[in-house]
């Protein structure tokens, strides 16, 4: 995408740098950080800036989806966790508007979504807020790939007023995903799963470059339903499918598309429900498909074993419940064992990879499902478009 990176910054010594990070991390019941993976992801960029002698790093992130200024979504604990990882103080700032910033090396602003202008649908309101944030620093750095498909003030407005660059993590993710879809090693196999039909656009965009696309999750049964199969009580995004009926037909007829031939079904969405394996033409009323069956796993794994590039977006089944995790686990293991370039996208998929202890075996576990899917769909990420050379 011809982006401006940290290495393009002419001088960092003595500069104030505003870094938009994604520290939208899970918290426990006491507000402590339960998983610091996203915080760790930003550490190399922060350390790079410190090593270059910047005078101050100003960090901001969203946390959850606040409707008001909920205390449990304040960034105090996040700042503490970052300080532990860096081995130095990170000063949390509640109000930077009136009093300005303290004379600290690293400061973290309050949850950026406490400010309604951050997500305003009116561009001028976002830009005015972005201008206020830009006044705090000399340079802007985007280290929030997972939010780069959003037109938010801290993503797209700040770099209108001060020079903007991408952080080391964003650079790595964009390079890996771009290479995988623009000049992939063949065969390229994509695994696409989930519930919502919005992934149909990504599947359609991958058809010209992929050799095979393996469909799982509720999305697979959406497509089987359109072919005339009874899917019982399996969740289906009927409205989404209808909205994209023109490309759904093309996808369903493509020889590159692989759908399940058998399924693990249950009579309730419950770990203790009655469970059985059936062919996909044997799903009865009152039953729901919650995983792919053993024959489908064997076929999918065989295809993955031949791949040189693998993209995986979405767990294959309801892996959080033990009776329905085998598909996701076996597909994940096959991808991890592959010699292919392997790119994992989306929070749920990353969560599954982590659960089965496969993270370190993947080429890239992307921090952003929505952002990476947007790239695969061939659309430009707004927060990166403003940072082009």
Q: Which of 4, 20, 38, 150 is catalytic?
A: 38
Place of tokens 């940072």: 387
Please give the C-alpha separations between residue 188 and each of 261, 280, 307, in angstroms, as whole numbers.
22, 26, 6
Distance from chain centroid for Cα 99 = 35
The alpha helices in 158-237, defined as continuous H runs, are 168-182, 199-206, 217-226
In a 3-state reduction of DSSP, which class is residue 265? strand
> Phi/psi at 276 (nearest 5 deg)?
-155, 165
Place of tokens 């620093």: 137
Long-range contacts of 241-248, Cβ-Cβ distance < 8 Å, separation of 24 or more: 241/197, 241/200, 243/197, 244/197, 244/200, 244/201, 247/200, 247/201, 247/204, 248/197, 248/200, 248/223
Q: C-alpha angle with apex 300: 369 to 220, nearest 5 degrees?
A: 60
What is the C-alpha separation between 323 and 325, in angstroms, rounded? Answer: 6
Q: Contact, 278 vs 262, CB < 8 A?
A: yes
Strand partners, 277: 264
Q: C-alpha angle with apex 11: 8 to 17, nearest 5 degrees?
A: 90
Q: Which of 179, 347, 351, 354 is catalytic?
A: 347
Q: Contact, 363 vs 335, CB < 8 A?
A: no
Does the annotation count 302 as an active-site position? no
Residue 360 in tokens: 């370190």
In a 3-state reduction of DSSP, which class is residue 13? coil
Does the annotation count 196 as an active-site position? yes
Does the annotation count 347 as an active-site position? yes
Residues in the chain: 389
In a 3-state reduction of DSSP, which class is residue 162? coil
Distance from chain centroid for Cα 291 = 22
Q: Which of 37, 196, 299, 355 is catalytic?
A: 196
What is the C-alpha separation between 273 and 267, in angstroms, rounded? Answer: 6
Strand partners, 279: 262
Instruction: Point out the residues that are catalytic.
Output: 38, 196, 347, 370
């Amino acid at each position: 995408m011809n982006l401006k990176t940290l290495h393009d910054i002419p001088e960092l010594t003595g500069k104030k740098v505003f870094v938009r990070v994604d520290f939208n991390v899970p918290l426990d019941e006491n507000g402590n950080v339960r998983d610091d993976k996203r915080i760790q992801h930003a550490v190399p960029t922060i350390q790079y800036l410190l090593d270059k002698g910047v005078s101050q790093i100003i960090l901001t992130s969203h946390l959850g989806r606040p409707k008001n200024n909920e205390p449990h979504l304040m960034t105090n604990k996040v700042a503490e966790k970052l300080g532990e990882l860096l081995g130095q103080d990170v000063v949390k700032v509640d109000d930077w508007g009136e009093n300005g910033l303290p004379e600290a090396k690293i400061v973290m602003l309050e949850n950026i979504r406490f400010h309604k202008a951050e997500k305003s649908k009116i561009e001028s309101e976002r830009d005015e807020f972005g201008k206020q944030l830009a006044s705090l620093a000399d340079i802007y750095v985007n280290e929030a790939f997972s939010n780069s498909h959003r037109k938010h003030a801290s993503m797209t407005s700040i770099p209108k007023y001060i020079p903007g660059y991408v952080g080391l993590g964003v650079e790595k993710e964009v390079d890996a995903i771009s290479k995988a879809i623009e000049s992939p090693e063949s065969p390229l196999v994509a695994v696409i799963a989930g519930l919502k039909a919005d992934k149909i656009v990504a599947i359609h965009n991958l058809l010209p470059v992929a050799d095979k696309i393996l469909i799982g999750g509720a999305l697979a049964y959406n497509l089987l339903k359109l072919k005339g199969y009874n899917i019982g009580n399996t969740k289906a995004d009927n409205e989404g499918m209808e909205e994209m009926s023109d490309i759904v037909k093309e996808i369903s007829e493509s020889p590159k598309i692989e759908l399940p031939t058998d399924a693990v079904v249950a009579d309730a969405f419950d770990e203790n429900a009655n469970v059985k394996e059936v062919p996909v033409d044997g799903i009865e009323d009152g039953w729901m498909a919650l995983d792919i069956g053993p024959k489908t796993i064997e076929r999918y794994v065989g295809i993955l074993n031949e791949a040189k590039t693998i993209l995986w977006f979405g767990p294959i089944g309801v892996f959080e419940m033990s009776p329905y995790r085998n598909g996701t686990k076996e597909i994940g293991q096959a991808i991890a064992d592959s010699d292919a370039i392997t790119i994992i996208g989306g929070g749920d998929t990353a969560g599954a990879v982590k659960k089965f202890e496969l993270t370190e075996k993947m080429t890239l576990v992307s921090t952003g499902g929505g952002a990476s899917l947007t790239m695969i769909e061939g659309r430009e990420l707004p927060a990166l478009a403003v940072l082009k050379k």
